[in-house]
Amino acid sequence: MLELVNFILGPVQTNAYLIAEPNTGEAIVIDPAWDGHIILAAAQKRNWRIGQLWYTHAHFDHIGGAAAIAEALNPPPAAALHRNDHILWHAGGGGAFFGFKIDPGPEPTIELHQGQILRLGDLNIEVRFAPGHSPGHCIFYIPSAKICFTGDLIFADSVGRTDLPGGDWDTLVNSIRTQVFTLPDDTRLLSGHGLSTTVRNERTNNPFVGARTINADDV
What is the contact surface with Zn ion in residues (CB under 5 A)? Answer: 59, 61, 152, 192
By Cβ distance, which residue is nearest to Zn ion?
59
Q: Which is nearer to Zn ion, 65 or 192 (CB)?
A: 192
8 A C-beta contact, residue 190 and residue 15? yes
CB of 171 to Zn ion, least distance (A): 14
8 A C-beta contact, residue 40 and residue 29? no
In terms of Cβ atoms closer than 10 Å to its own Cβ (0-12, 13-18, 19+), residue 12 is middle
CB of 178 to Zn ion, least distance (A): 20
CB of 122 to Zn ion, least distance (A): 30
Q: Which is nearer to Zn ion, 59 or 128 (CB)?
A: 59
In terms of Cβ atoms closer than 10 Å to its own Cβ (0-12, 13-18, 19+), residue 216 is exposed
8 A C-beta contact, residue 79 and residue 55? yes
Rounded to whole angstroms, how far apart are CA atoms 172 and 197? 18
Q: Which is nearer to Zn ion, 64 or 77 (CB)?
A: 64
CB of 158 to Zn ion, least distance (A): 12
CB of 112 to Zn ion, least distance (A): 16
Amino acid letter for position 111? E
Task: Classify 163 as helix, strand or coil.
Answer: coil
- Helix, strand, coil tally for the chain in percent (to 5): 30, 30, 40
Q: Which of 29, 3, 2 is nearest to 16 (CA)?
A: 29
Rounded to whole angstroms, how far apart are CA atoms 216 and 99? 39
Q: Which is nearer to Zn ion, 36 or 192 (CB)?
A: 192
Q: Which is nearer to Zn ion, 48 or 60 (CB)?
A: 60
Q: Which is nearer to Zn ion, 26 or 152 (CB)?
A: 152
Backbone angles phi, psi at 211, to 5 degrees: -60, -35
CB of 159 to Zn ion, least distance (A): 12
